[in-house]
Amino acid sequence: MKSFLMKSYTFLIFFFLYAPILILMIFSFNDSKSRGNWDGFTVKWYIELFQDGQIASALYYTLVVAIIASLIATVLGTLAAIGINNMHGLPKMMTLNVTYLPMLSPDIVMGISLMLLFIFVKINLGFITMLLAHITFNLPFVIFSVLPKLRQLNNDTYDAALDLGATPFEAYKKVILPQISPGIVTGFLLAFTMSIDDFVVSFFTTGSGVSNLAITIYSMARRGINPKINALLTLMFIFIMAILVFVNYRMAKEKQSEKREKY
């Protein structure tokens, strides 16, 4: 009896979580503008999507911003993580708290505060400002992906490399970097996903003519329902899922190899 109740409850909750998303995806193939009825299978919304110049431009900005922002955040964040790992006491605590700040402050506050900064120093809102904002919210994700890897490092290997005549730079490149690279890649991919998915911060930090997919979806949705949005969201979901499956696969593989090393 108890297990039946548990199963039913679990089913209901998962139904609540998944039914709307599934219906959204199924109706991206519906040959009708009125969403309640199923009027046959079609891919015309997808075709219209690919012919839509506004969406093509949004896709372009989304990808370019995501790639550049996550690359810069990865370099800056990895260096920062190495530094933080060598810090102690109060400076370390302060740096970590500063790192938590963008993760803790509400998106809307981050969006408007960056907007104020850009207006204050008179940079026109647009591509560059959106890029700067994305780098900012990506940094913590990189740092918190790399830091655990650095903590696991055995410091003796670095010293051994120095004793054997490597310069500090060589020792870093040949000894430290290969060991923390899984964390760096994970951080990069997380930052990339966050960037692709971001709406609120982009919404406040971009200007006329430059918008990403999320902003385009929002302005379309504000005007009402449009099956093209269903098609676009379906594609975005599949794309993000593919990245996440890849990240998880990597993490699982690392865990296995760590276990093997232990025993």
Partner 1 sequence: MKRKFLTAPYLLWMLIFTIIPLVLVVYFSMFETGPDGVRFTTEYLERVFEPIYLKVIGRSIGLALISTLFCLLLGYPMAMILASKELKMRDFLIVLFVLPMWMNFLARTYAWMTLLENNGIINQILAALSLPALNILYTDKAVVLGMVYNFLPFMVLPIYSVLRKIDRSLIEAAEDLGATPARTFFKVIFPLSLSGVASGIIMVFMPAVTTFVISRLLGGGQYMLIGNLIEQQFLTTGDWGFGSSLALILMVFLLLTMGIMAKTDKDQEGGGLW
Residues 55 to 84 in contact with partner 1, rule: CB under 8 A:
76-77, 79-80, 82-84
Q: Is the dihedral of CA 23, 26, 28, 32 positive or negative?
A: negative
CB of 184 to partner 1, least distance (A): 14
Among 74, 193, 195, 212, indicate the residue that binds partner 1 (CB under 8 A). 193
165 part of the interface to partner 1, by CB under 8 A: no
Rounded to an integer, what distance in angstroms lies between the CA atom of residue 169 and that of residue 176? 10
With tokens 């959204």, the residue in question is: 24
* Span near partner 1 by CB under 8 A; candidates 8-16, 40-48, 57-65, 179-187: 8-16
Among 225, 242, 256, 257, indicate the residue that binds partner 1 (CB under 8 A). 225
Among 48, 136, 182, 207, indicate the residue that binds partner 1 (CB under 8 A). 136
Among 31, 48, 52, 107, indicate the residue that binds partner 1 (CB under 8 A). 107
Contact pattern from residue 20 through residue 39 relative to partner 1, giving x for each residue in contact according to CB under 8 A and a dash for the rest: xx-xx--x------xxxx--
Q: H or E element: which one contains 263?
A: none
Sequence letter at residue 56:
A
Instruction: Determine whether 85 is exposed, middle or buried from the number of CB atoms within 10 Å of its CB (0-12, 13-18, 19+).
Output: middle
Among 4, 120, 169, 263, indicate the residue that binds partner 1 (CB under 8 A). 120
CB of 57 to partner 1, least distance (A): 18
CB half-sphere exposure, 34, CA atoms < 13 A: 3
Partners of residue 30 on adjacent β-strands: 41
123 part of the interface to partner 1, by CB under 8 A: no
Rounded to an integer, what distance in angstroms lies between the CA atom of residue 45 and that of residue 51? 10
**Helix (H), strand (E), coil (C) string for 160-197:** HHHHCCCCHHHHHHHHHHHHHHHHHHHHHHHHHHHHHH
Contact pattern from residue 231 through residue 260 relative to partner 1, giving x for each residue in contact according to CB under 8 A and a dash for the rest: --x--xx--xx--x----------------
